[in-house]
Structure 1
C-alpha cells in the first residue's frame, strides 16, 4: 500500500497503535533473551526480529506519521515491566495470550503473512512456557489447592459456626483450630501422595544394574527383545530394536516409559507448599475476628477478603494455563462462595432449631 494513498484519521491512529505495540513486544522478547542462554535465547531473538519486520510494515504505511510518539497499550507496558523485573513463566504466559489475541486476522491493512506470523508466535511462546509450567507444576498444584482449600474450608467453617450463634471468641478459636488441622492434614497428605507417585514412577525406570548387564550378555541368544515387547512393541520391531541396541555396545540403555520423576515435585517441597498456602488461605477468613470484629460486620469483611483472594488465585491459574483469566477467576469465586453459603445456611438452621 502506498504511503500517499488516502487514509482516514482512524486508520493512522490504529496503525500508530500497532507500531507502538510491535516495538514494545520486540523489546520484551529482547529483555527475556538477555536472561536466557542457548537455544531459548536464539528463539526469543528471532521472535524480536519478526516483530521488527511487522514494525517496518506499519512504518511504511505511516510515512512521516510514524515519527510521532505513540502511547503503548497498558497490556504491552505490563509485559515489558514484568520481563525486566522477573523474566519468568508468567511473562511467557502473558505473551502467549497476547500473541493469540492478535488483531491482524481482522485487520485489512495487515498482510496475511503477519497474521500467520502471530499464530506461529503463539505456538512458539506456548512451547517455551510449557517448560516452565512443567518445572513448577508439582509445587504450583499443591500451592493452588492448598490456598483455595484454606480459603473455602475455613470461611465455610467460620460462617457456619457464627451463624449457629457462637460467640466471636469461639468463632476465632474454631477458625484457628481449622487452620492448624487443615494445614497439617494437607501437608501430610501431599507428602504421602507425592512420595507414592515418585515411587511408582521410579519403579518403571530401568535399573543401572540391568543396563550394565547388557555389556556381558550373549549377542545372539538373549532376552533384551522381551524388554521392548513388554514396553508395547510388536515382536519384529522389538527384535530389530534389541539388535540395534546391542550392536552399539557403547553406553547401552534399556527402553523406559516417557516419564520424568522430577516433574512431580519433591515430597518435602510439595508438603511445605501445601502447609504454608493452606495456612495463608485459612488465615484470611479469621482476620476480622483477630481484630475484634463480630456479627454481620465480621461476616461481610471475611467474605469480601476471601472473595478478593479467590478472584486473584483464579486469575493466576487462568494465566498460567493459558485460559481466560476472568472466567477462571469468576469460577473460583462462585465455587468458593457456593460452598460457604451452604454451611452458613446450615448454621442458621441449627441456630433456629436451638441445636
Structure 2
C-alpha cells in the first residue's frame, strides 16, 4: 500500500475520544480559572478550583464515555444477535437482502447474488453486520478504550492552564491563561487534523472559536458575581 492509499478511518474511535478529552480539559479548566479569577479569588483558591476541576472532569469524562459507548456496544450486540437468529430462521430472505444491497451499490443481479452467496458462505453474520447494519471490527464501539483515552487526555489538557497559574503573577494571570489556552487549543486542532487527515485551518479555527466563546462567557459570569459580592 502506497502512502497515498493509507486511510485513517481506524483511528476514528480513539481520536474522537482524545480530541474531546483534551479540548474539554483545556476549555473547562481555563474557563474555571478565568471565572474565579474574574471574581477576585486569589492564587490559592484558583489552584484549588482548577485541580478540583481536573479531577472531577477526568472522572466525568471517563464515566460518560464508558456509559455512552457501552450503550452503543449493547445496541450493536443486540442487533447482531437478532441478525444471527434471522439468518438461522430464513437464510434465503437474508441472502436476498444482502443481494439487494449490492445491487443498489452498482452490481448487476447475477454478480450481486454470487457475491452475497460467497460472503455468506464465508461468514454470514459478519457480512450482514458490515453491509446491512454498518457494524465492523474497525468501527466497533470500545468503551474501555474511549473511557481511558478521554480521561487521560482531559487530565493532560487541564494541566496546561494550571501550569500558567503557577508561572504567571496574579496581575497577568487572566491574559496569560486565556492566551496560552487559545494557543494550546490551536495546537490540539492542528494535531487532530493531521492525525485524521482533515483540513488544518478549519480544525484550528473551529476548536479555537468555541474555546474562546466558553472562556469569555465564564469570565463574564465570574466578573458579574465578583461585582455583586
TM range (shorter): 0.7 to 0.9
- Secondary structure of 2:41 counterpart: coil
Unaligned ranges ≥5, structure 2: 102-108
Q: Which residue of 1 aligns with 2:213?
A: 338
* C-alpha deviation, 1:210, in angstroms: 5.5
Q: Which residue of 2 aligns with 1:257?
A: 129
Q: 1:170 aligned to 2:37?
A: no
In 2: Cα distance, 1:224 partner to 1:142 partner: 38
In 2: Cα distance, 1:249 partner to 1:156 partner: 54
1:324-335, aligned counterparts within 5 Å? 324-335=199-210
In 2: Cα distance, 1:288 partner to 1:179 partner: 14
1:1-355, aligned counterparts within 5 Å? 40=1, 44=2, 92=3, 125=4, 128-130=5-7, 133-205=8-80, 223-228=90-95, 233=100, 245=117, 253-254=124-125, 256-258=128-130, 259-291=135-167, 293-354=168-229
Q: 1:250 to 1:317 in 2, by over 3 A?
A: closer
In 2: Cα distance, 1:250 partner to 1:323 partner: 38
Q: 1:251 to 1:297 in 2, by over 3 A?
A: closer
Aligned residues of 2:17 and 2:150 also touching (Cα < 8 A): yes
In 2: Cα distance, 1:135 partner to 1:164 partner: 45
In 1: Cα distance, 2:93 partner to 2:120 partner: 18
TM-score, structure 1 normalization: 0.53
- Secondary structure of 1:257 counterpart: helix
Query: Bigger CA drift: 300-309 or 155-164?
Result: 300-309
| More contact order relative to length (CA 8 Å, sep ≥ 6) | 2
RMSD of aligned alpha carbons: 3.3
* C-alpha deviation, 1:154, in angstroms: 0.8
Aligned residues of 1:161 and 1:171 also touching (Cα < 8 A): yes
TM-score, structure 2 normalization: 0.79
Aligned residues of 2:61 and 2:151 also touching (Cα < 8 A): yes
Q: 1:346 to 1:329 in 2, by over 3 A?
A: same
In 1: Cα distance, 2:150 partner to 2:37 partner: 27
* C-alpha deviation, 1:308, in angstroms: 1.7
In 2: Cα distance, 1:179 partner to 1:200 partner: 31
CA deviation string 1:52-84 (max 9, x = no partner)? xxxxxxxxxxxxxxxxxxxxxxxxxxxxxxxxx
CA deviation string 1:184-227 (max 9, x = no partner)? 0001111112222122223233689759x96xxxxxxx732333
Query: Bigger CA drift: 342-351 or 256-265?
Result: 256-265
Unaligned ranges ≥5, structure 1: 1-39, 45-91, 93-124, 215-221
Aligned residues of 1:284 and 1:302 also touching (Cα < 8 A): no
- Whose helix fraction is larger, Structure 1's or Structure 2's? 2
In 1: Cα distance, 2:85 partner to 2:49 partner: 55
Q: 1:325 to 1:245 in 2, by over 3 A?
A: closer
- Secondary structure of 2:28 counterpart: helix
Q: 1:139 to 1:312 in 2, by over 3 A?
A: same
